[in-house]
Amino acid sequence: MTAKRILIVEDEKAIRDMVAFGLRRAGYEVREAEDCRQARARIVDVRPDLMLVDWMLPDMSGLELTRSLKRAKDTEEIPVIMLTARAEEQDKVGGLEGGADDYITKPFSPRELLARIQAVLRRAAPAGAADVVEADGLKLDDSSHRVSAGEREIPLGPTEYRLLHFFMTHPERVFSRGQLLDRVWGGNTYVEERTVDVHIRRLRKALEPYQLERLVQTVRGAGYRFSTRDA
């Protein structure tokens, strides 16, 4: 399985370094931002699986950042753990109301932080975040990177695999080409929207021999949807 990506938003370098070190050693892929503006750029660049957000940041409070992320369709699913200083502890209820999934009070031990992260990731995992997702006989096993229909393995290119994985873990929802580019390719790649169509075509072609291409549906004027119901 691919390493989970964690974005740390913290202006104090010493704390950022300490946290980043511990998380990398635990096998996470870590990215860092020192303020909200940088955090936003990082999210567009590579979507994190979880964010650690300090309460006090130079350009905007971590709470405001969290609120705005939780309000936006594209980022509402990203779990957030807020880092608070003891003095701000009375505000933590506010933090949770603002959409944070958990909070941890400084100073914290790396072990404590890791335990919180694991718990939040487990909780945040959508139904499809399990290693194996299945729909109508189509099975995707993320631990072995295998896609199969019954006993037969379906060969897929890396982009088609990522696309199918995204679809299967977000079923019955329409995504525009732009949203798919953001979520599957990562927003900072210079890819044209019609590239999405190319890979959708390839994905359908790969599914065709098993009559499973109907799962990848075109929604006229809107985009694409993965659905086990008829289009």
Residues forming contacts to Ca ion in the complex (CB under 5 A) are 11, 54, 56
The residue whose Cβ lies closest to Ca ion is: 56
CB of 56 to Ca ion, least distance (A): 4
* Cβ distance to Ca ion smaller for residue 54 or 88: 54
* Cβ distance to Ca ion smaller for residue 107 or 126: 107
CB of 202 to Ca ion, least distance (A): 46
Angle at alpha carbon of residue 135, lines to 218 and 77, rounded to 5°: 75
How far is CA 24 from each of CA 6, 87, 231, rounded to the nearest angstrom?
10, 29, 44
* Cβ distance to Ca ion smaller for residue 62 or 223: 62
Q: Which amino acid is at 122?
A: R
* Cβ distance to Ca ion smaller for residue 13 or 229: 13
CB of 87 to Ca ion, least distance (A): 12
CB of 82 to Ca ion, least distance (A): 11
User: What DSSP designation does 184 have?
Assistant: I
- How far is Cα 177 from Cα 182, in angstroms, rounded to an integer? 9
- Structure tokens that stand for 171 in this block: 């079923």
The dihedral sign for the CA sequence 68, 71, 74, 79: positive
